[in-house]
A and B are shown apart, each in its own frame.
Chain A
Amino acid sequence: MFPVFHLAYEGAVIQLTSGCGTVATMRRLGLCAAALLVVGCGDRGSVTFNLKAPENPLFNPVLQPELVSEYDIRTATGMVIGVASAVQGSAQGESGLLPLGALMPGASAEDVFVTALSGGNLLGMARIRDVVIQSGKKAAYDAELRKPLIFVGSTLPAEINTGNRTTSVQILDPVASTDLARASSSPPIVAGGMTAGATSWDGRFLIVAQGTTLTAFDNGFGRNVSGSYTLPFAPSRLLVAPRDTAIVALDPGMSGAIAILSDVAGFAASPGGASPKIVNLTGAVARTAAFSPDGTKIYVLTGGPSADPCSPGAMPAANAIQVFSLDGSSIGSFALGGFASDIAVDPQSGMIIIADVAGKQISTLDVASGVTSPVLGSLTCPSAVRVVNGVIFAVTSDRDTSLPNAFVLKRIPLKGGAAVVATAFQGPQYEIPIDSTPSPNGNIQTATLPVRPVSIQAYELAITPDGSRAQFATRAHYKEVNTKFTFSQEDCTANFDIIEYGLYAVDLRTGNASYAQRSKLVQSPAGGTKCVDCSITIFGSTQHQYADCDSVAGDRPAGLAASFGQ
């Protein structure tokens, strides 16, 4: 499926097969030096990582090889195996076979992460299972480099509006800051849309749910694989286990089930042949879930996906984390002290990170001892949490008081010992049009009454593997009950309940944030009429002026999935 990109040098092809193992196809003298080094290594052995690129050039992270400064090879635990310089002009960067130097032999097979960097910027990644580095042994591993893409699907909001409709899947490329699905020529399309999604551990596939239909999108060719499987429910979430050992789909319905499909590669090769195991939760509905680092346990947070714990007056009941093995057997549960909105698992320590709304904190749960410890406190509705490279990312309803309408995403190292980094992002704004007469010169136009939300909930969050970008889907709530204010010397009363869905992108290096509104749905007053009532008394007669609140039909973002990220 992925062709090996041989070197494009002219001249005679030299095929070298050495006693120590490296087989290389080389076409110029410069490479012979590296080859001779390999030949001359006697019985010490070698390990070669053959990097490949996706077929579709839009998905190729090293389409411009001159941008690559180095290839970084690490174990899954973060230990450096080797770094190869790819800078053009350097001794290494001139050839296609870049030396990593002597490697430390290991006693057992380990998973390895390959990263292509341009200076400090992540261009692409690859994950390889079960790499063995042994003295006197030769080995070669194919690594499929892929971009750290973020996929964003679309589903209908629970708030009914006749004009609501879903949109096509976005394929966001953080490196180029573009949406590949909206490229000018031959854009890749996730056929049928996506209501829930997750990327495979090796980055090769996007597992896609469209309603009850489950299929896969190939990130190499940029198209759906053939075939699909129909689940007995339309999943609210999909997850792929580390090392691609399983796919899990969460049922949002009252029956409270999860479907476990083993073997991601097998599913992608033949989705129609899937045979999922359906497991019923004990008296609960799944809200979200996460896998243990080794991919053998599923931690399911109960509480249902629809509860918005950040909404004013919301007090959802305490939920729990139920634990299952991949064969579906229940192997325990952790009762939580109050309602938690989200969980994530630290790939290094295996600890569960909990967005504890009731406790107004982010806490860790040691699965071995069952002990929870606060990491970050005094938070207003921490609704979404992820942990990448040992750093916790939490979206909160905390306000940045230095700005008129801004909320805060917080970051803190899991191990502590450093200050909290707070990144403000401008809150959404609802504008109520007020009748007014434009000024004669046209500079002063129709007036609007800007309203900021009373709460914001991030119901899905994706972080790129280098922790440089956060993408999150939000549900903002505008709610005023008999709120009095003065507008243009008139006494006004506001009564409305409006839900807004949108999508944020935050560059965590610069703090720049962008927001795309997806829908604004007026729940009350009915029809949106008379949401603001202003009155003025003239000569004893009270005149009323009303403002209406209009809905903007649309969708809500769903199925956020970051390749190699969380």
Chain B
Amino acid sequence: MRAALVLTLLCATVAHAEETRRTVAVLEYRAGAKGARDIGMRLARLLRETAAVNVIDAAEARRRIPKVDGEVAKCGGEAMCVGVIGEQLGANEVLLIGVSQLGDLIIALQRIDAKRGEAGARMAESLPIDAEIKDEQVLGWLKQLFPPETFRRYGSIAVDADQAGASVTLNGEASGKTPLGSAIKVRAPATYKLRLEKSGFMPFQARVDVLPDANVEVHATLVRESKDAAWYKRWYVWAAIGGVLAAGGAATAIYFGTRTESTPLGFVHRP
């Protein structure tokens, strides 16, 4: 009964966290190379999936600037020129991929600050022409280029309660009292144990799964634990009764499960 009550009190929704993040345009320049055809889109996808940045991939870049491929080609890898394209795309920086074929396939990656038009971290990888490039490999390149904090992703939990002054704990750590001024920023993806407590009320508990860039809203209703209430309205009375019933149920199950004279046996005759 108490469990059912708690379920009705928990209402969680997911919304995208509205947080200002850097935007990276992933642009590709090919010098007559035919290998690694999908490398640009894969880099963009993996960056989007693993890093806390907004990503403009080649398809989106072409939508915004239809001749972007030609414009990038004209830049010839010159950072200032590429930076201008990045600004036109609304990006903070450009991850420029140069693919060339000089015997081996050579993939060069370079971070370019769009506003300053300056080149930052860069790396190059030489691969056999027919090499199958794995996602783990591409992810490794990204982690060489971008600092570790870029790959730290966060979500948030917005806790709202009908009672002010309830202490909020996440995984046992105090996170303030209601009303909380803002959502609690947490590492994601992860699962958190949320608990709200206030004297005179039954504690509220919920397990909250937080996905990256998601905001989970929890609306908690605290149920008053009245001292004047009749004994049968006390939660611990029902908890005790529940325990007795559970024990009784278990004993019954054990009884029926172990007594041999009346329970039929089951078999599966497989094909």
**Chain A, Cβ-Cβ closest to B45:** A403
B229 within 8 A of A: no
A419 touches B271 (CB 8 A): no
B264 touches A42 (CB 8 A): no
**Chain B, Cβ-Cβ closest to A138:** B264
Instruction: Annotate A394-423 by CB proximity to B: 1 below 8 A, 0 otherwise.
Output: 000000011010000000000111111010
A65 touches B271 (CB 8 A): yes
Contacts of B265 in A (CB 8 A): 20, 22, 37-38, 41, 44-47, 99-103
Q: From residue B184, how far is it (CB to closest CB) to chain A in Å?
A: 15
Contacts of B63 in A (CB 8 A): 404, 450
Interface residues of A in 40-73 (CB under 8 A from B): 41-53, 60, 62, 65, 68, 71, 73
A102 touches B256 (CB 8 A): yes
B70 within 8 A of A: yes
Contacts of B67 in A (CB 8 A): 488
Q: From residue A511, how far is it (CB to closest CB) to chain B in Å?
A: 10
Stretch of A78-86, A149-157, A182-190, A553-561 lying at the B interface: A78-86
Contacts of A65 in B (CB 8 A): 270-271
Contacts of A165 in B (CB 8 A): none
**Chain B, Cβ-Cβ closest to A49:** B268
Bound Cα distance A136, B265 (Å): 10
Interface residues of A in 96-116 (CB under 8 A from B): 96-105, 114
B10 within 8 A of A: yes
Bound Cα distance A188, B108 (Å): 50
B14 within 8 A of A: yes
**Chain B interface residue count, Cβ-Cβ cutoff 8 angstroms:** 40
Quick one: given A51-B270, A86-B270, A136-B262, are A444 and B7 in contact (CB under 8 Å)?
Answer: no
Quick one: given A418-B12, A419-B14, are A44 and B270 in contact (CB under 8 Å)?
Answer: no
Interface residues of B in 4-43 (CB under 8 A from A): 7, 10-14, 16, 30, 32
B264 touches A98 (CB 8 A): no
B264 touches A402 (CB 8 A): no
Q: From residue A135, how far is it (CB to closest CB) to chain B in Å?
A: 4
> Which of B66, B261, B269 is the one whose CB lies under 8 Å from A44?
B261
Quick one: given A62-B270, A101-B265, A443-B32, are A44 and B70 in contact (CB under 8 Å)?
Answer: no
For the residues of A in contact with B, the DSSP-based class is loop
A-B interface pairs (CB < 8 A), number: 155
B59 within 8 A of A: yes
B232 within 8 A of A: no
A484 within 8 A of B: no
> Which of B54, B209, B267 is the one whose CB lies under 8 Å from A38?
B267
Q: From residue B8, how far is it (CB to closest CB) to chain A in Å?
A: 8
Instruction: Annotate B120-133 by CB proximity to A: 1 below 8 A, 0 otherwise.
Output: 00000000000000
Instruction: Annotate B247-268 by CB proximity to A: 1 below 8 A, 0 otherwise.
Output: 0000000001110111111111
Bound Cα distance A439, B72 (Å): 14
B224 within 8 A of A: no
A52 touches B267 (CB 8 A): no
B62 within 8 A of A: yes
A99 touches B267 (CB 8 A): yes
Bound Cα distance A420, B209 (Å): 10
Chain B residues at the A interface, C-beta cutoff of 8 Å: 7, 10-14, 16, 30, 32, 48, 54, 57, 59-60, 62-63, 66-67, 69-70, 73, 208-209, 213, 216, 256-258, 260-271
Chain A residues at the B interface, C-beta cutoff of 8 Å: 4-5, 20, 22, 24, 34, 37-38, 41-53, 60, 62, 65, 68, 71, 73, 81-82, 84, 86, 96-105, 114, 133-138, 145, 401-402, 404, 415-420, 422, 439, 441, 443-444, 447, 449-450, 487-488
Can you pick out 5 interface pairs between chain A and chain B where the beta carbons lie within 8 Å of each other? A49-B268, A73-B266, A101-B266, A444-B70, A449-B66
